[in-house]
Amino acid sequence: MAVLNILSYPDPRLRTIAAPVKQVDDNIKTLITDMIETMYDAEGIGLAASQVDEHLQLIVMDLSENKDTPMVFINPKVTPLVEEKQPYEEGCLSVPEVYDKVERPNKVRIEALDENGDAIDQEAEGLLAVCIQHEMDHLNGVIFVDYLSNLKQNRARDKVKKVLKIREKNLEKQAQPSNV
């Protein structure tokens, strides 16, 4: 088990297109376990492999209250079931402390494989529908801030830079406990 490094916006590696998973083998199973651990450690509800610099079509998610129901989607295909789009306030582990509304269809069909290589075919609404579309975007190199105005994208870039700097400082403090 390992907590993986999450790439931050605007890292160009987040623009890489993910390749399909060919076989759900032990390497993929280890990656799935590590991604779930990474998502819980960062207090996220969803994580795409692209965000940990693994360019494979793999998504983990946990929308449960007690964070005890991880979901895995391998080689997902998402089809909108409604034309109408609804706004939802999104965030992203790769864009820390930036949140904004994005409009997406709020009912979709999800076809994928699970962690055992078994087929998933389900209809999703609400947060699951929003989250799977957000994570699918990552596999195609798209980040939620791409849907926002240029002004908001620039602000997001500045904000992430600032947050990362503060986090780095806090890590230095932790590493040097004599500096009280």
Q: Which is nearer to Co ion, 35 or 92 (CB)?
A: 92
How many of the other CB atoms lie within 10 Å of CB of 68? Answer: 8
- 130 lines the binding site for ligand QAP (CB under 6 A): yes
To the query of whether residue 111 is one of the catalytic residues in this protein, the response is no
The mark string for 133-162 relative to ligand QAP (x by CB under 6 A, - otherwise) is -x----------------------------
Q: How far is the CB of 70 from ligand QAP (least distance, A)?
A: 13
From the list 8-16, 20-28, 63-71, 129-137, the region that binds ligand QAP by CB under 6 A is 129-137
- The reply on whether position 131 binds ligand QAP by CB under 6 A is yes
User: Which segment (21-29, 114-122, 126-134, 172-180) binds ligand QAP by CB under 6 A?
Assistant: 126-134
The single residue of 123, 135, 168, 172 carrying the catalytic annotation is: 135
Q: How many CA atoms lie within 13 A of 58 on its CB side?
A: 25
Give the chain's largest Cα–Cα span. Answer: 59
Q: How far apart are CA 34 and CA 97, in angstroms?
A: 23
What is the identity of the amino acid at 180?
V
Question: How many residues sit in the footprint of Co ion (CB under 5 A)?
Answer: 1
* Closest alpha carbon to 139 in 80, 81, 73: 73
Across-strand partners of 109?
Answer: 79, 123
Q: Which amino acid is at 68?
A: D
- Site stretch for Co ion (CB under 5 A), options 6-14, 86-94, 109-117, 165-173: 86-94
Residues 7, 28, 31, 92: which binds Co ion (CB under 5 A)?
A: 92
Per the CB < 8 A criterion, the answer to whether 46 and 60 are in contact is yes
What is the Cα–Cα distance from 76 to 144, expressed in whole angstroms?
18
The set of catalytic residues is: 135
Residues of the shown chain interacting with ligand QAP in the complex, contacts defined by CB under 6 A: 42-46, 90-93, 96-97, 130-131, 134
